[in-house]
């Protein structure tokens, strides 16, 4: 019951973030900058430290985890290049390519949200206070997950029904992950590998997709400020919660 309550709050947080992204399209360049900052903050203050910590517990060298991060970055990079060469040999349909890449990125967010829910469920099995601590951390950044899901699948364009479907799936993911944790916990090695790959994916998405597109839409310094705000937000949230 506690797990369901905490993961339901995370679901609501994701939906709120997606709603903001849909309704604030006139400020989409700022949202893209903010989203990029949030992704970078999540990588360096949340995903990567967790992956390294798990790697240490498994007696892995830090180079193994960092190698997985690089592999995730390169896989995403090569996937985009292959889509460009296959669908747009003349480079005249970049929006379609960005939509494909965005959907791949949103799938990564959905999987990450599922693991967040599993983390809540696992912590709640210890005691409700531990579950609450982890849930607050998840809720704090799940709004940004909803925001980034919409930004990735729409790339700043009007959201369509199938785009909203990705948001709904991302919102339901923590609940599914929490329930899954009550049945079976993922092995630590698999979690470390996923977090490493997710770090690489999000690094590529932030630096090669969201930020360049945001600056293309508005060359002003406000995009840079928004990105810095996103990074600081995640850094502070992680520090306060003590995740």
Question: Within 10 A of 78 (CB to CB), how many other CB atoms are there?
Answer: 10
- pLDDT score for 69: 94
- pLDDT score for 63: 93
- pLDDT score for 225: 94
**Of 110, 143, 126, which is closest to residue 237 (Cα–Cα)?**
143
What is the per-residue pLDDT across 5-42, written as a single tens digit (0 to 9) for each? 888 888 998 888 888 777 776 677 787 788 788 888 88
What is the per-residue pLDDT across 82-107, written as a single tens digit (0 to 9) for each? 754 444 444 444 454 455 555 666 77
DSSP-derived letter for residue 27 is G
Task: Assign 133 a pLDDT band (cuts: 50, 70, 90).
Answer: low
Q: To the nearest whole number, what is the mean pLDDT of the chain? A: 77
What's the whole-number mean pLDDT along residues 223-239?
87
Percent of the chain with pLDDT over 70: 79
- pLDDT score for 131: 73
Residue in the structure block whose two tokens are 């099995």: 125
What's the whole-number mean pLDDT along residues 210-234?
86
What's the whole-number mean pLDDT along residues 118-142?
72
Pick the residue with more confidence: 209 or 65?
Answer: 65
42 neighbors 171 (Cβ within 8 angstroms):
no
Distance, in Å, from the CA atom of 67 to the CA atom of 65, rounded to the nearest integer, reads 5
Q: Is 155 left (phi over 0), alpha (psi -120 to 50) or beta?
A: left
Distances (CA, A) of 182 to 54, 119, 120: 21, 10, 10
Distances (CA, A) of 204 to 69, 79, 187, 237: 10, 11, 26, 23
């Amino acid at each position: 019951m506690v797990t369901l309550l905490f993961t339901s709050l995370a679901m609501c947080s994701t939906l709120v973030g997606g709603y903001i992204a849909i309704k604030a399209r006139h400020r989409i360049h700022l949202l893209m900058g903010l989203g990029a900052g949030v992704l970078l903050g999540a990588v360096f203050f949340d995903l990567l430290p967790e992956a390294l910590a798990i790697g240490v517990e498994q007696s892995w060298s830090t180079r193994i985890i960092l190698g997985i991060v690089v592999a995730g970055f390169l896989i995403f990079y090569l996937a985009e290049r292959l889509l460009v060469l296959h669908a747009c040999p003349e480079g005249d349909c970049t929006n379609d390519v960005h939509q494909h890449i965005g959907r791949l990125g949103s799938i990564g967010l959905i999987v990450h949200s599922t693991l967040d829910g599993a983390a809540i469920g696992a912590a709640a099995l210890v005691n409700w206070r531990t579950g609450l601590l982890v849930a607050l951390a998840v809720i704090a950044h799940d709004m940004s997950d909803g925001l980034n899901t919409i930004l990735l699948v729409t790339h700043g364009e009007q959201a369509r029904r199938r785009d909203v479907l990705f948001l709904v799936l991302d919102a339901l993911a923590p609940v599914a992950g929490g329930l899954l944790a009550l049945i079976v916990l993922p092995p630590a090695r698999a979690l470390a590998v996923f977090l490493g790959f997710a770090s690489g994916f999000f690094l590529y998405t932030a630096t090669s997709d969201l930020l360049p597109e945001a600056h293309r839409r508005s060359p002003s310094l406000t995009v840079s400020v928004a990105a810095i705000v996103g990074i600081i937000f995640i850094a502070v949230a992680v520090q306060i919660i003590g995740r």
